[in-house]
Structures are given as structure tokens and as C-alpha cells.
Amino acid sequence: MCGIVGYSGQKNSLMILLDGLRRLEYRGYDSSGIAIKDNDKIYNRKAVGEIKELEAKIGDKQIEGNVGIAHTRWATHGTPTEANAHPHCDCQGKIWLVHNGIIENHQKLKKQLQKEGHKFSSETDTEVVAHLIEKYYQGDLAQALKKSLHDIEGAYSFVAFHKDEPSRLVAVKKGSPLVLGLAEDGVIVASDVTAIIKQTRDVIYLEDEEIVDINGSNFDIFNLANEYKKKKAMYVDWSIEQLEKNGYPHFMLKEICGQPETVTDSLRGRLVAEEGNVKLGGLDNIAKELNDMKDLISVACGTAYYACLVGEYMLEEYADLSTKSIVGSEFRYRKYCFNKNSVILGVSQSGETADTLTAIKEANKKYITTLGIVNVVSSSVARATTAGIYNHIGPEIAVASTKAFTSQLVTLSLLTVYLGRIRNMSFPMGQRIVQELEKLQEKISKVLENEEKIAGIAKKYYQVPNFAFLGRKYNYPIALEGALKLKEISYIHAEGFAGGEIKHGSLALIDKNFPSIFLVPEDSVYEKNLGNIQEIKARGGNVIAITTEGNKEVAGIVDEVIYIPKTLEMLTPILSVIPLQLFAYHMAVIKGKDVDKPRNLAKSVTVE
């Protein structure tokens, strides 16, 4: 979603701001802008489209100024135009501000401010806040911002400066992330740690309703009651290389091909084969709650939700645990029958997805134990949950989630062993799963050897407008995920089905122009899947099958086969999803789509 960068320090701010914006590009945006205090003037430029358009507008103009703010906007209120791009300012052009989130009561506030004589120049909800601050300003920006917050309803993070307060930047957050980077030469504030780590690895995550008052390298953090907050900086160990493409044409391909390593990173130090068990230090503080747990409710969105669906099969089959998955955006609006032994699990790569976070907060209000599977360390979901497991896979940059998904599956299988072993799972069963997890790196590398073949299949099928994805049991959620990947980056219509469900209506779609991708590994539902493939073939439909190495039977019936190595049934999704990721990737490349930044989408959806 939108990105924020702000800097106050000894260096020239322009390069720091532009570098930060470029590193936030992956989140998705449609316009951008900067405002820098250049002595007693404000330098402001905005552009629609990519950051390079903004850079072109700036040209080689020398801009002095050690304090500035910048923004990438993803349109919510008002179309993507220069007028609507941030930063926004008040009537006198003195107060400049960038904002992420949504001001829900902006229309009412705007009407009131217009009545009081304020003149607006954009259609955004953000501009309202610049005028509100103007209304309350009496020589102290932090106090004026704080007063404005009393009038505002919604989720936000803001960074603002006032022309007459030389090196001061003021920022605040509620429901939308904001991180401070403590560099030697100054302080950088951003919506995402990726915009910071070139300058410093020492960061502080702000909590809701904390205000940070920055003056060069000095800063103070307060809450709304003016109480001073002492916060410890933490060290981010992501490397710059992890933020670059390293020779790959797209981040998505780099992330798909990096899965042998990222899966290993998620397993590192956690497998204890000799005990047929796993070690998950992040769960130690809720060992008793997990022991007493009667049911687990997973909450997540999109791809992470599909990981939870696979987790349901794992946890029910191997940990004897009643498990249910709920889409984050639905959680708040349904009545669920929790009991004091329920546990809520939030799964989120970014840890900032508003729908997932809101669900966790709702569960916290009901005193239900919450745990998280999160990639971004110290992100909002990580902080809102009582305990958790980190993915440890470094930043995921491509909008379409790939390495995070396989890591979520691996982490859910670790959780299955952990919970299974404190219930009925035998030592040999625990050991079997652990030993199979140890072999994943090698098996994923084997699946990746199919890339050229998959690119060839994509070449044959790229003009087809519709696809069905089918699978049963553990691979049913993988059918849903395969369809989502194809839709989001190649804009081809695709639907995922449970293999046995298609004959209850959707089979009517199938003809020679409507191909199916069928997940048919040799597992407990293999024979049933074969029957469904025959039904599709009998209607003239083409079938691309993902099956187990060495299988000849499937190859005899279908049009194309992609092989994956044999593994435990519960772990097959970790292998079977990879050909679908590669297929979606190559379809999008052939169709000339913007693979890493698909239209209309944002990497981290921080609004409900």
C-alpha cells in the first residue's frame, strides 16, 4: 500500500528520500511526491506513474535541505493525479504532510473546514489533516497534530513538517505501520523497514498513538497523554542483497528460485530428529495454553489464508486438533463459538495486513490466546500476538507471495509436530515428518529443474482466457493458490476447485478451450483424482497434471505432465505449488505484464 519516507539530519535529504521511495516501489503505487525544506523555501514535486517520472521532474536541480518527506500513493480517495499525490499542504503552504491509511470522517471534517474558510486543492482524505493542523497550530507542530488527532476517525500514519520549525519532523501512527531508523547522521522515518536499512539497521517500531518528535539526530517519543516513552532500538539483520534482484529479471523469479534456501532458513535450528520433535522457542511462553488448547482458529488473507487451509489438514490429521480457518476480513463480522481453550493463529508475511491484525486485536479483547506466524520481525501482528513463530526468510519484495507461502507451509508443519507431540503423535511419526522436512531443500531444487518445461507449457497456453485448477485434500488449497497466482500477475481468469466438486456444477464450463491444471500426486486421494481427470478428458478438456516422479499412468491420460519428488502426503503442497508459481510467472512474462507490481495490487494491504 502507500509508502512513507521522512528524514531529518545532517545529510542532504533528497537522495535519502528518493532511495527510500525506490525501495518501497514493490508495495505498489500509482503516483509519488516529495517536499523538502530548502532554507526558507519548500521544494515540492509530484508525478503520476513510476518514481522515474518524479526523478525526471526533479532533473539535476541542486536541492539543499536536510529535512524532507516523500510518499508513494496507492489511490483510495480520488484518482491518481498530481493534485492528489502527497505531500499535501495547508492553505498557506507551510504545513506539509504525508499519510498512509484512511480518514473515515474526512467528508464531515472537510465541510466544516471549508465553512471556516479553508481552501482545498485535492480530492484526498489526507489534505483534511493538513488543514486541521493549520487550524490548531500555535507555534508547535507536535501539539497541533495531537489536537487534530482528537477529530480524526480511521487508521493512519502521518509524517509532517512546518516551514517555520527548521529541523523538526513530527510523526504519529494508529493502525498503519511506522518505523524509525536511527542513523549516525540523522533519523529516518518510514512505513516499511526496507526504506531504511541502507541508512541504518537500528530501528524502533512505533506503537499506535505514539508521537515522535524529531530534530536532526535527536528525537522524543510521547503518547497522547504527553507521557515520555523510552524505547529500545532493535537490529534488523536483512541484507541489502536481499533487497536487490541479484541477476534475476524479476524479484518474483528470484524468490521462487530461492525457495530451497528459504525453506531451510525457516527450519534452521528447529528440527530435533533424535527426539522426533521440533523446537519452537517462540511458543515457550504459552506452553500451558497450547497444552490445554481444544481448538485452533487460523486467521489470514489471500495466499496466507490458503496456507492456513493446508494447515487445517495437517493439524487435524497429525495433531488431533480441531482447526478452522477464517478469512481476516470476515472474522469481526461473524459470531464464533470460542471457549477459554481456543487459540487464534494469525498468519501474515508482512505482519501489517489490516484485516488480519484487526482480527487478532478482536481476539485479544476477548482474552483469547493469540499466536502468529509472521515474516517481518516486530511487525504489528508479531507485536499484537502473545507468542509466535517467525518465518526468517528475509524480505519478500514481489507483490505475488511465493517464498512466504512455502515458508508458511513449513512453519505450519513444524507447529503440527510441536502440537502433535504434546498430544497423540508417536515418536516414529514425529521423526518421520522431521526427516522428510530435512529433505525438502533437495526436493525443491529438483522441482525447480522443471522451469524450462513449464515455460514451454506457458508458451502453448498463454492465449487461453480461462483456467481451472483442481486438487483434493492437501492439494485443494494449492489449487486455490495456483488460480490466485495466475489471476494476480497474468490477469487471466482462473478458478480453483476441490477435485470432487467440479461435477456439481462447474464441469459445465469445460470444453476444448477451457484447460485444467490438476494436482494429482500419488497420495491417499490419487485414485479419486484420476476419476475426475477422466471426467474432464471425456468433455474434451485439456489437462496439465502435477504428479509424482516415476508415475506413468497420469502421463498416459493427460496432455502435459510435470513431476515432483515423492514426499509425505502432508508435505506435498510445499512441492506441488512451485510448478504453479512458475507457470503463473511465465504466463505473465510472455504476456508482457508487470510481474513484480501487478496492476491494482499492493504488497501489504494496510487498510480494511
Q: Which of residues 238-257 bind ligand F6R (CB under 6 A)?
A: none
Angle between helices 106-115 and 126-136 (to 10 degrees): 50
For 153-192, the three-class secondary structure string (H helix, E strand, C coil) is CEEEEEEEEECCCCCEEEEEEEECCCEEEECCCEEEEECC
Which single residue is written with the C-alpha cell 484526498?
124
C-alpha grid cell, residue 164: 517555520
First vs last C-alpha separation in the chain: 12
Least separation in angstroms between CB 583 and ligand F6R: 14
Give the binding range for ligand F6R (CB under 6 A) out of 51-59, 124-132, 205-213, 302-310: 302-310
Which single residue is written with the C-alpha cell 515457550?
284
The answer to whether the CB of 407 falls within 8 A of the CB of 262 is yes
- Set 94, 254, 487, 603: catalytic member: 603
Q: In 290-375, where do the E strands start and end? A: 295-300, 322-327, 342-348, 369-374
Q: Is 401 in the site for ligand F6R (CB under 6 A)?
A: yes
Q: Is 560 in the site for ligand F6R (CB under 6 A)?
A: no
Contact letters for ligand F6R, residues 406-425 (x by CB under 6 A): --------------------
* CB closer to ligand F6R out of 17 and 492: 492
| Residue 257 is a catalytic residue | no
Counting residues that bind ligand F6R (by CB under 6 A) gives 15
* CB closer to ligand F6R out of 113 and 301: 301
The answer to whether the CB of 53 falls within 8 A of the CB of 72 is no
Q: Is 529 in the site for ligand F6R (CB under 6 A)?
A: no
Q: Is 400 in the site for ligand F6R (CB under 6 A)?
A: yes
Least separation in angstroms between CB 372 and ligand F6R: 10
Which strands make up the sheet holding 516-519, listed edge to edge?
Answer: 493-498, 466-471, 516-519, 543-548, 560-564
Q: Is 175 in the site for ligand F6R (CB under 6 A)?
A: no
Residue-wise burial string across 578-587, b where 16 or more C-beta atoms lie within 10 A, e elsewhere:
bbbbbbbbbb
CB-CB neighbours of 60 under 10 Å: 5
Least separation in angstroms between CB 24 and ligand F6R: 15
* 85, 252, 304, 483: which one binds ligand F6R (CB under 6 A): 304
Q: Which residue type, as a one-letter code, is found at position 337?
A: C
Least separation in angstroms between CB 485 and ligand F6R: 6
Pairing of strands 179-182, 186-190: antiparallel
* CB closer to ligand F6R out of 126 and 349: 349
Q: Is 301 in the site for ligand F6R (CB under 6 A)?
A: yes
* CB closer to ligand F6R out of 133 and 398: 398
Q: How far apart, in Å, are the Cα atoms of 595 and each of 482, 485, 491, 532, 579?
A: 15, 11, 11, 32, 16
Q: Is 176 in the site for ligand F6R (CB under 6 A)?
A: no
| Residue 2 is a catalytic residue | yes
Least separation in angstroms between CB 194 and ligand F6R: 13
Q: Is 605 in the site for ligand F6R (CB under 6 A)?
A: yes
Q: Which of residues 309-368 bind ligand F6R (CB under 6 A)?
A: 348-350, 353, 356
Q: Is 581 in the site for ligand F6R (CB under 6 A)?
A: no
Q: Which residue is nearest to ligand F6R (CB)?
A: 302
Least separation in angstroms between CB 113 and ligand F6R: 34
Q: Is 277 in the site for ligand F6R (CB under 6 A)?
A: no
- Set 2, 89, 257, 308: catalytic member: 2
* CB closer to ligand F6R out of 301 and 545: 301
Least separation in angstroms between CB 604 and ligand F6R: 6
The answer to whether the CB of 455 falls within 8 A of the CB of 447 is no
Write out the H or E segment, with its range, that includes residue 34.
Answer: strand 31-38
The answer to whether the CB of 582 falls within 8 A of the CB of 451 is yes
Q: Is 488 in the site for ligand F6R (CB under 6 A)?
A: yes
Least separation in angstroms between CB 408 and ligand F6R: 8
Least separation in angstroms between CB 348 and ligand F6R: 3
DSSP string, 559-598: SEEEEE----GGGHHHHHHHHHHHHHHHHHHHTT--SSS-
Measured in degrees and rounded to the nearest 5, phi and psi for residue 497 equal: -135, 155
Q: Is 604 in the site for ligand F6R (CB under 6 A)?
A: yes
* CB closer to ligand F6R out of 9 and 302: 302
Pairing of strands 342-348, 322-327: unpaired
* CB closer to ligand F6R out of 148 and 604: 604
Residue 499: how many CA atoms within 13 Å on its side-chain side?
A: 25
* 199, 303, 342, 406: which one binds ligand F6R (CB under 6 A): 303
Q: How far apart, in Å, are the Cα atoms of 506 and each of 330, 484, 516?
A: 25, 18, 12
Query: Active-site residue numbers?
Result: 2, 603
Q: Binding residues for ligand F6R, per CB under 6 A?
A: 301-304, 348-350, 353, 356, 400-401, 484, 488, 604-605
